[in-house]
Structure 1
């Protein structure tokens, strides 16, 4: 089964997706049913799909605007591809070493659930950035709440999978990460999610002997392929990512967990590190980025000019401050003591 959110004729709706690649159509689900509703109610997806295919008119995907397929409570993005880490580390400091801590656990950071964009939406350059990059990933959407989930049973918590593009302002990210607090403004302006969510049953045929989904991943800029990898080259399965994310806390229906960027050109920064130069160059307005994931689909976004930083409210640098430990308190005649 496949589920999308879309806008057509001024109306937003959640839909079951039917049809062959390139000829997909949307069948609206009953009433205000959302992907979150389906994820939170095990067994409801098949019934909702059957009703939609039987009762709703078909809307060609080409005639609709695809929205992010889910409005997630939270978005975690992992970094699970060793080859990606090697290339990006080299682009930052010239080293080729992956830190030992990377191998110990599937590290992630929280990113912005309010910055999601649809499969074909334009993506503005973040204010103040001149080094924009894409990141080719796959995301899992959680379908069942859990805490301290056993990796062996984490598959029971999967609702489906979708394509994930973690747009990255590398210049902003580089400055932020020198504070050792992880990326923030370098990552939160846009994340593409789409074109729809595919349920696990449709992808089981791609699973290898170690439990990884061996899906082909491809990245194109202006029609030229710049990246190609297999999802099964990740260091951890999605089930292991869910288990780690839930350790000591909760994952909830609708939570999105990104795989992290694949290797072999899953982003430009990795290629810059390997080639020792910005080749291909950072993304500019007019560039079109297309990411394809076997068994799921493709997203394609055009980069457009963003807001002029000079026109936005100015946030000053930190001012020099004293380190005194007591306030200056006004006296009864208006002076200070």
Structure 2
């Protein structure tokens, strides 16, 4: 099942069901007015949404052509946005980029931070850049949307709490990070509004590509119209989403609508490219002794998508342009 949120003049938009080929949608307001409302009553409404999706696929229900510019991020705002860093190769490279050592518990204890969740950017919304010296970077990721998740849940029981999957651009101001972390109090100013691809899907839509809490498919990024990277999101994800859920739930419960990110998708195989500028810059520094690629500037564009083996664009495309803030 594929869901989305179209703009209707309200903060939370209108819930719609989307065809698998992304061509049409139909309103789901008779079932749940918004994505959050659906998540709040998921066990009751999911079967109804699935039935509506089946009718849309078969043509029993007529659809409206999809115009991605009309779509919000699937959750235009969320109760919580928690981002992990489950790809060790990414951690090692970006730490080197700012002359920092990886944590001693790199392989045993996941890294997570809590970002701003009250304002998300729509999938084709411009990225404002108030100051180029802040070092704007994109970060292509995968995320899950949780239902109500109790404190203390273990990885072995975590799957049932994952309701939806999404693709993410976790925008970052790289040059603001060192000073913030030097205060030993985490990210804040260095993390502007995050962007999500237009469609959220249920895990069963991935079939064999949903592997023990990992999405075993490439995540492709184009930068300024050219290929930038398509690392596989599956095998290199050191901590699965199940393990990340166990980690964050150690001391507290989470409400339906909480978003949990994978962190920047990263592979050791350099032929797969990267999912952020910081990694490419660090590889340049290792190879040549200097950074060559600048961070994003006004006018730059980024496009992020994930296709299955049949070429289907599962989540739709994040397609953004940097503008002066």
Q: Do both proteins adopt the same fold according to a TM-score greater than 0.5, normalized to the shorter chain?
A: yes
Deviations 1:43-69 (A, max 9, x none): 412303434756975222226521011
C-alpha distance in structure 1 between counterparts of 2:14 and 2:85, whole Å: 33
1:227 is matched with: 229
2:293 is matched with: 280
- Alpha carbons of 1:279 and 1:48: their partners in 2 closer, same or farther (altered >3 Å)? same
Matches within 5 A, 1:92-111: 92-93=98-99, 98-111=102-115
The answer to whether structure 1 residue 298 and structure 2 residue 304 are counterparts is: no
Greater alpha carbon shift after TM alignment, 25-34 vs 70-79? 25-34
C-alpha distance in structure 2 between counterparts of 1:19 and 1:109, whole Å: 33
RMSD between superposed Cα atoms in Å? 2.2
Deviations 1:1-52 (A, max 9, x none): 01111126x67411001141xx521211124522222223214123034347
1:66 is matched with: 71
Deviations 1:247-300 (A, max 9, x none): 120121100001001114111111111211443321111111011123433211
Q: Is the 8 A contact 1:149 1:243 kept in 2?
A: yes
Q: Is the 8 A contact 1:139 1:258 kept in 2?
A: yes
Task: Give 1:231 shift.
Answer: 1.1
| SS state at 1:297 partner | coil
Greater alpha carbon shift after TM alignment, 132-141 vs 60-69? 60-69
C-alpha distance in structure 1 between counterparts of 2:178 and 2:322, whole Å: 21
- Alpha carbons of 1:104 and 1:126: their partners in 2 closer, same or farther (altered >3 Å)? farther
Q: Which of the residues 180, 205, 212 maps onto 2:184?
A: 180
Matches within 5 A, 1:60-209: 60-62=65-67, 64-70=69-75, 71-93=77-99, 98-127=102-131, 129-187=133-191, 189-208=192-211
Q: Is the 8 A contact 1:79 1:260 kept in 2?
A: yes
2:310 is matched with: none
| SS state at 2:177 partner | helix
Query: Which has the larger share of strand?
Result: 1
Q: Is the 8 A contact 2:15 2:34 kept in 1?
A: yes
Q: Which blocks of at least 5 consecutive residues in structure 1 are unaligned? A: 307-337
C-alpha distance in structure 2 between counterparts of 1:104 and 1:172, whole Å: 27
C-alpha distance in structure 2 between counterparts of 1:26 and 1:174, whole Å: 44
Deviations 1:125-150 (A, max 9, x none): 14574411000101100023321112
Task: Give 1:303 shift.
Answer: 0.8
C-alpha distance in structure 2 between counterparts of 1:183 and 1:33, whole Å: 34
Task: Give 1:165 shift.
Answer: 1.0
Q: Is the 8 A contact 1:90 1:274 kept in 2?
A: no
| SS state at 2:148 partner | coil
| SS state at 2:15 partner | strand
1:262 is matched with: 265
TM norm structure 2: 0.85
| SS state at 1:100 partner | coil
1:331 is matched with: none
C-alpha distance in structure 2 between counterparts of 1:132 and 1:13, whole Å: 31
Q: Is the 8 A contact 1:29 1:48 kept in 2?
A: yes
2:4 is matched with: 4
C-alpha distance in structure 2 between counterparts of 1:305 and 1:61, whole Å: 29
- Alpha carbons of 1:56 and 1:177: their partners in 2 closer, same or farther (altered >3 Å)? farther
- Alpha carbons of 1:89 and 1:62: their partners in 2 closer, same or farther (altered >3 Å)? same
Q: Which of the residues 213, 216, 219 maps onto 1:217?
A: 219
C-alpha distance in structure 1 between counterparts of 2:115 and 2:253, whole Å: 17
C-alpha distance in structure 2 between counterparts of 1:43 and 1:293, whole Å: 29
Q: Is the 8 A contact 1:87 1:272 kept in 2?
A: no
| SS state at 1:48 partner | helix
Greater alpha carbon shift after TM alignment, 284-293 vs 64-73? 64-73
Task: Give 1:239 shift.
Answer: 1.2
C-alpha distance in structure 1 between counterparts of 2:188 and 2:293, whole Å: 24
